Structure 1
Amino acid sequence: MEYGFVRVGAAVPKMKVANCEYNCSRIVDLIKRADKEKVKFLVFPELCITSYSCGDLFHQDILLKEALRQLENVLKDTKDTDLIAILGMPVSLNNQLFNCSVVIQSGKILGVVPKTFIPNYSEFYEERWFSSGNKALVDTINICGQSVPFGIDLLFEDSQNSDLCFGIEICEDLWVPIPPSSYQCMNGATLIFNPSASNEIIGKYEYRKELVRQQSARCICGYVYTSSNVNESTTDVVFGGHAMVAEYGSLLCESERFLDDDQLIYSEIDLQKLINDRRKNTSFMEGVVDKKYRRIFFNQKESECMELTRYVPAYPFVPSNSANRDLRCKEIFSIQTSALAKRIKHTGLKYSVIGISGGLDSTLALLVTAKTYELLGISPENIIAVTMPGFGTTDTTYTNAMDLMKAMKVSIREINIKDACLQHFKDIGHDVNIHDVTYENVQARERTQILMDLANKLGGLVIGTGDLSELALGWCTYNGDHMSMYSVNCSIPKTLVKHLVRWVAENMVDKNVRDILFRILDTPISPELLPPSAEGEIKQKTEDIVGPYELHDFFMYHMIRYGAPPKKISFLAQKAFEGKYSKDEINKWLKVFIKRFFSQQFKRSCLPDGPKVGTISLSPRGDWRMPSDADSKEWLEEVE
């Protein structure tokens, strides 16, 4: 299991009703196909050996005995495969018939799990044939010459890794108020397999998919579902062959419905991510019920290095679908404006003071502030927008800032900071020609001092402009742009800031403002603290110094959201940015990220208030508590 990933699959075999020999031949073929694809666990539909729609034929002894004979053939024909397969068949036991899942590996039966909830409504008549697993009188069964565990209390666990543990629920079990998988997951299962026979009616496809997705989210698990296909009986209903692999609320892959042939789908479940979130979510085990589960242990061969088949988004904070991205931007912008509105109403302050550089972050902060004032019915003239040209200001950013402020109809202040900084250099004895950190930070602190003092003079609130990515990297001057009275961008990563500004440009402003915003979007990211080039162009480009923000946002997401170790982050980044960054480039910037993330915690320990908008926040009062003097040695060594 490399980097915590395990490959799981769902099979939809072509079948013939009541023809066990034919059905098992298809099952064997699919098991062998999946084994070649390095699938470790494969689930088949409910009652796949006989087919689900046999009706009263389930009372025919010949069918039940043939199912057992064909199961023996499957065991013989797959004894050289290592994967664990979950097959459906009827099992006669103690004067009862059970709808069961038989778990097999390398010619052996690991256990048999009967269905718990037996539907007997609408088109379902299962109680006519089957008993609930709750009514079983024994906990072992002799089947195919093997004595194996039997019951609804079975969990299957890797003897080498307790994180790899799976449970089984069958079809209807998922549709009840508290599915068995809820208890299984609270008792250690990280994977749930559901062999089903779910017929197709209008609207059921969407509902079924949502059930699987939501159960995987509530249980913080991988959920693998499969259902019978169109070759079941169509006497009264039609089955579509719907298979899905979901992980923690996300659908990783699904089958095409209504196909006449075999289907095999598979993907990788990230168990490391699931376990990390379970540990973090302390409510997860609060409702645990004292149910006694028997552990069935298994061993699997170590896989050779596998290529991930699942999609790894390069921009985890940004939805790839344009419609979803627009909805995300609308939601975030509403959170920002609502948060600022509450703060303004609470303080009763008349003015907001904001520094405008002509860059992305201050632009977004101004757009948020302007919309907030509109919602509160306050004139935009009460927004005091201050541009403060310094040694690194270029004509491009100065023009952007001035044009934006004019277009937004806010009150404009222009305060050149050069003379004040020169005086300060003189006061502290710093050579103005030495362009070091002192040279840069004097300018950042001078700007913050102006904003704070102006806010005090007018009775206003200084609006912070810094974003989440800058906080993660510490790319802000302590008690300079690091500080404000309310920070509206503090949990928005840099890769998302661009999309928010673009969304506002396309949806909330007139053409004049829109054109200015698109100019700002095309401007390189820079703190503009060093003098421009001889041609007047921006010389100090942030990403040339600290690295690409798209990489840092990727690193931040996987490290903070899921606790991924550096090796895994690098592995995922190589997949996500294949063809754009080499492994060496990724590791180079990953080391920069780790060093800066650890060394700059002291800045995050004293952040101003600001709203959380996504799954990651670095507020010391909210999501992130970290010692400022923690050692990054272990993380850096793993990158090496």
Structure 2
Amino acid sequence: MGRLMTVATCSLNQWALDWQGNLERIKESIRQAKKAGATLRVGPELEICGYSCADHFLESDLYLHSWEMLAEILKDDELHGILLDVGMPVMHRNNRYNCRILIVDGKILLIRPKMFLANDGNYREYRWFIPWKRPTHVEEYYLPRMIEKIVGTQKVPIGDAIISTPDTCIGAETCEELWCPQSPHINMGLNGVEIFTNSSGSHHALRKLDIRLRLMAEATRKNGGVYLYANEQGCSGDRLYYDGSAMIVINGEVVAQGSQFSLNDVEVVTAVVDIEDVRAYRSSSSRGMQSLDAPPYQRIETAFNLSDPSDDFNPQLIPSKPQLIHTHKPEEEIALGPACYLWDYLRRSKAAGFFIPLSGGIDSCATAVIVFSMCREVMKAIGEGNQQVIADVQRIAGAYEKEGWLPATPQELCHNILHTCYMGMSAQSSAETRNRARDLAKEIGAYHTNLDIDTVYDAEKNLLTQATGFTPKFKVHGGTVSENLALQNIQARTRMVTSYYFAQMLPTVRKREGGGGLLVLGSANVDESLRGYLTKYDCSSADINPIGSISKTDLKAFVNWAMTNFQLDILKDFINATPTAELEPITTSYVQSDEADMGMTYAELSVFGKLRKENKLGPFGMFQRLLHDWKDMYSPREVADKVKRFHHYYAINRHKMTTLTPSYHAEGYSPDDNRFDLRPFLYPAFFESWSFRRIDEEVEKMERRAGGKEGAEA
């Protein structure tokens, strides 16, 4: 007869330093797992303190409070009768480790430190922790006195060991260890580990879940085994959204999958597994031969059974079957990821709602539609009876209404949460953009205001004339490039100041009970930021930017998707509109165009961004690559000109990246200076650089060769 056992993993919406909130979510996940009959529960990485504590990991308080929270778990009899895999930081011999704590019935079986740390892109784990660089090594850990009193022992094992029960063997991995070439689960599996746990703090990025799913499947496809993946879900306190997707995989097949985007604070995923399936899967002689050469692990033994020790047949316990994996299209990811992130940010910041300077262009349009998508997700959660969401809605949006109020539609909720404003200039702003902004706000239900900033702009512009006697002019009126930019920048920065003024006062204007201001949302996309096509401290400067790491190409695809799926016909007008900043006067022969101003298309900017960051190419390497990729579109000299133009503008605008509004992270080539993309912000002049000289030399060689061929053919 097979050994049937129910196992559970989970996604938790943890928050950095939210000690009591994090503890309650952990406890609730254990209660739900037990209710489902599970005998093993796995939680996310560093779930007790929250993954995003950053430099707080260097504070001794954090380790003390982590042990205090763990003590509450150990003492709670309601949480006994299940093997627990809980994440927290541990200090051992004056070193800080990212650890898993394996617990059963109020006793600590093992402290398992992370062996391979995440230290690229968004992650800086080496700044706070050191890896356990001793495979299969185990030593003794002296417990804090408060824990010693609870568990009745002074020491527990710490190190790279595995848990042996009467019916199976369990090994723990942590996040990055799954992504490494030589993952611990390989040798663990060869040593007889049948159940692997992986506890993660893995962030959402567009198209990333596919990679994660393949890694989980491959972890057991060759070696066999049960793989339980747990992850945080939600905004933990920084730019990242942790996208859940708790998973259970058996022998390379997914048998249970949790949601990637959700407003639930606790989501538990369970499956019934037959451990005999793993043993049958591992019957090949080649695997058996390799297992003889694998390094031995110390086994920490426990009498706790994951299966029913009586071996009685239970007709209600049916092994979970493989299921189709569900992934979202990138357009859906944009609709859901930033939306769930914004809800967490709003409810945890205690703000009264959002404010968006709505320009009538596709970027601010996409930002507003993301907030509308958030309102749709909130309405779904209300319909499902999510009490936390209901309480948050009544506190935030219900402040305008009678006690006990709940919205009936996403538009009704949006009207109380989202505030938009069109800030025009009589000479620069068109009726088309003004009307598009108004009509979009109406369709999604936003509270909309419409004004012109001419008087403020004129007052600021006239200061220079009063002080110096000089009156600057736009380019179309005969002004210089410097004059033209200065006059554009006055408008852009005026909009930023106006945005914060309105965000602070609109709740008061609307007589909102309890006060509180609005969060200003920025709407500069990743390509504009990369090129530096924005004014420093303009209306792209905000509290948070939902689209700051999303390309123009993906944003247009998202808006097109939302037009149908959200039934917003007005979005067709935004898709067909020419992108323009509307910062220069409109004449009969001239209308400002973003791509003309930038000297490159948004599609080209995406290519430059990916080659620079993801492919790690400098100017010369990028030129060589694009000679091949663009050979059917551009001549070598045209390729060279485009590459040099991009790097020139990237360099001279690099200082702007240091002040970018914190953005939701969604794309691998984000230029976010604060954590993800660390570069100098004072560059030598690229047009005088060695790399540009090398590009010019190669172009001249190619043109000479091409000229020689043409002469020979003639």
- Superposition TM-score, scaled by structure 2 size: 0.43
- Superposition TM-score, scaled by structure 1 size: 0.48
Larger radius of gyration between Structure 1 and Structure 2: 1
